Structure 1
Amino acid sequence: MKKTLLALAVLAAGSAQAGVNLYDSEGVLVDVAGAAEVQYFQGYSANSDAAFRLDDGDLAFSTTVPVSNNLNAVAAMAFKFEDAGQSEAGVKNDELWVGFQGDFGTFTFGRQYLIADDSGIGKDIELGGDGIDFVQAQGDQTIKYVFDNGQFYAGVSALLKETNPKGNADETKIIDGRLGARFGDLDARVYLYSGDDVSSDKFDIFKNAKGEKQPVDIDGAQLEAEYIMGAYAFAASFGQVDYELAADTSKKVEADTAALAGSYTMDKTTFALGYTYWSPESSAMTVEDANVFYGNVTQQLHSNVKVYGEIGYSDVDDAEFGYVAGMEVSF
């Protein structure tokens, strides 16, 4: 799942290493971070055409305020700018939260991303195929706790309650977590996810007669490991997710996914290769397995500017040959 701008600007709130420091006085910090990314993109979808794509536009503000010697108050708000061709076009406030931070870790409350949003080890830019998909990893009624002492780290988050759209009376509830450890150059972790009445149209059997999303119960886990050896980096993962229609438990899909990826960095250039395997099974429908291979190269023109190119292949029937070229500028 895609990393958010929060990774740049906030969750280690108070760090001014990423973004721009707007204010720093008597321990009070205010930072801003942003990114703009545009691509020329051809995906795997059959009969699709290559076109410019406004892939990413983010703007985030964060603050850290010392309350005592061992306690800080933290807060953030973030906005994302969606391509006009997407379902949620325009500007959306996707983060608005407050919390506390200290030696005990960080507690945050409000509109934010769940722990599961950080899952995934792929080194793809856009063409990595279907990997682990927990469907929903963000919400307004969210509480999150993260802890990291350098070697061991953990986190848990919960979407306490969210009313589904289209007048559906069911309420979405999600709890997820992560437990990980670092041993030298090895980083290993496991993610767990459980969601009730999550709106999903990922598979046709989860849509109603009008083609609208219906509540689905989702349970899954993902095991990940990354190893760095000088200029080389290697990563592997295996995950399983079960999707079950809340109103009809006979309609369900069990999906296994695995991924391998590696990269080599030479000066300011990084080369990466990867493979993703996705295998869903269902007694109610036929779903095709997918094997996806990709390769890319990224050139870091500046610490805040990169350009890249990627090609990809999927063995799904009628899949197009994928390619993308893009540029990202961040601050």
Structure 2
Amino acid sequence: MKKTLLALAVLTAAGSANAGINLYDANGVKVDLSGVAEVQLYDGFEKHGDSTIRIDDGDLVLHATVAVSDNLNVVSGTAFKYEDRDLQNYELWTGFSGEFGTITIGRQLLISDDSGIGKDYELGAGQIDFAQTEGDRVAKYVYDNGTFYTAVSHEMDTDHSTTITDGRVGFRTGGLDVRVYGYDGKRIGLKGLVDSGSDANGNPIIIPGKAGEDISGYNLEAEYAMGAINLAASFGQVKYQAADTKVTQKNIDLYEINGSYTIDKTTLALGYVRGEDKVDNGNVINNVYANVTQQLHSNVRAYVELGYSDDKKDELEDFGYVAGLEVKF
């Protein structure tokens, strides 16, 4: 029972590093520490960009599970990222887990942060962009019985300006995993009133800030694992509207198909992405990526990736490459 409950609790921290070190496990209290460091040699699609050393990921995660009865655990987590020199706390949540699932509240990732089937490291055109997939005031529910799984989360700012509701429903059987994500965000990026200093008489100048965007969409995903082979496909749509005028700024369809093949500790992956903006004959992107990953240890992997994109509207380079080393604990 406790193992099942702990597994449910870990689901709330999707996107964080995998738990690696048990710090304490006694008297019904279990505390785990995990982290990840990832550094790359990177040359992306940026026009006239040069190769550079790039810090891609740096995380430190702490999870705690406290058994208050045979059927109920209290769970909590905090996580820090330090890709830049500034340390940022991006998770700080508490909640309950049991056979009913896991309920958490606080600063955490939204359900839509898990969306996407991409097997690329950096040079895929990207998954459906829901713009904001984390928040400081998030309530989240996750349920997974191994075959059927579902989840929902809701973010609301202090002044009730930006609101986001998203969710997921999925089903697994054999090697097949099918799920759909939905997303509905209001006034994302709202800045409110902006203080622009004072006029000649010393009176404050207050002007309207960015009104934000209303963003809604979905992503349908399917994966099939057959021994060493993994195949995946997805189709998503997302619409961006100005929150004040309701004018549609972007209306994007995104298709992806990819596959991978694992030989011992080596994985070969290949993927194709097509993005179409249907507003005013908007941009069309065709993108192909391929990579090789070598699992040097259960906690260490090295990889090399090549990518091609014909995104001419943004005047990007056609080719890019990246080589990286990721270490987890």
Q: TM-score range by the shorter chain?
A: 0.7 to 0.9
Q: Report what 2:203 is aligned to.
A: none
1:3 aligns with none
Could you say if the C-alpha distance between residues 265 and 115 of structure 1 is closer, same or farther in structure 2, counting changes exceeding 3 Å? same
Correspondence for 1:130? 126
Query: Any residues of structure 2 matched to 1:67-146 within 5 Å, and which?
Result: 67-83=68-84, 90-146=86-142
1:316 aligns with 311
CA shift digits 1:207-254 (9 cap, x unpaired): xxx9x8640001100100000010000000000001000112224211
Deviations 1:105-132 (Å, cap 9, x if unpaired)?
Answer: 0000000000000000010011111320
- 183 and 292 in structure 1: CA distance in 2 versus 1, 3 angstrom threshold: same
Equivalent residue for 1:221?
Answer: 218
* Counterparts of 1:7 and 1:291, CA distance in 2: 38
Residue 187 of structure 2 corresponds to 197
Give the 3-state SS of the residue equivalent to 2:113 in structure 1. helix
- Shift in Å at residue 48 of structure 1? 1.2
Report the 3-state secondary structure (helix = DSSP H, G, I; strand = E; otherwise coil) of the residue aligned with 1:155.
strand
1:174 to 158, 164, 167: 164
- 2:286, 2:172 → 1: CA distance? 30
Q: Which amino acid aligns with 2:306?
A: I
Taking structure 2 as the reference length, what is the TM-score of the superposition? 0.87
Residues 113-172 of structure 1: per-residue CA shift (max 9 Å, x gap): 000000000100111113201000100110000000010000000002255xxxxxx711
Residue 35 of structure 2: aligned partner: 34
- Within a 5 Å distance, the mapping from 1:1-331 to structure 2 comes to 11=12, 18-83=19-84, 90-162=86-158, 171-199=161-189, 214-283=211-280, 287-317=282-312, 318-331=316-329
Distance (Å, rounded) in 2 between the aligned partners of 1:34 and 1:149: 27
- Assess if the C-alpha contact under 8 Å between 2:139 and 2:154 holds in 1: yes
**Larger radius of gyration, structure 1 or 2?**
2
Change (3 A) 1:298 1:7: farther
- Deviations 1:178-207 (Å, cap 9, x if unpaired)? 000001100000000000001189xxxxxx
Instruction: Give structure 1 regions of 4+ aligned residues with deviation exceeding 4 angstroms.
Output: 6-10
Offset at 1:7?
11
- Cα 1:124–1:136 change in 2 (3 A) is same
The separation in 2 between residues aligned to 1:244 and 1:52, in whole angstroms, is 37
Superposed CA deviations along residues 266-286 of structure 1, whole A, max 9, x for unmatched, are 000000000111111224xx6
Distance in 2, matches of 1:159 and 1:261, equals 32
CA deviations 1:288-316 (Å, max 9, x no partner) are 21010000000010011110000000011
CA distance in 2, matches of 1:91, 1:9: 23
**Which runs of 5 or more structure 1 residues have no equivalent in the other structure?**
1-5, 84-88, 164-169, 202-209
User: Following the alignment from structure 1 to structure 2, what is the Cα–Cα distance between the partners of residues 252 and 58?
Assistant: 34
Q: What is the TM-score of this pair, normalised by structure 1?
A: 0.86
Tell me if the contact between 2:171 and 2:177 (Cα under 8 Å) persists in the aligned partners: yes
Residue 131 of structure 1 contacts residue 278 of structure 1 at CA under 8 Å; is this kept in 2? Answer: no
Q: Distance in 1 between matches of 2:216 and 2:12?
A: 26
SS of residue paired to 1:133: coil
RMSD over aligned Cα, in angstroms?
A: 2.2
| Residue 205 (structure 1) aligns with | none
Q: CA deviation at 1:90?
A: 1.6
Q: Which amino acid aligns with 1:180?
A: G
Q: Is the 8 A contact 1:96 1:110 kept in 2?
A: yes
Rounded Cα–Cα distance in structure 2 between residues aligned with 1:55 and 1:275: 23
For 2:56, the aligned partner's letter is D
Partners of 1:130 and 1:39 in 2: CA distance: 18
Cα 1:300/1:173, change in 2 over 3 Å = same
More displaced stretch, 312-321 vs 129-138: 312-321
C-alpha contact (below 8 Å) 1:9/1:32 kept by paired residues: no
Task: Give the Å deviation of 1:10.
Answer: 5.9
Alpha carbons of structure 1 residues 7 and 291: separation in structure 2 relative to 1, 3 Å: farther
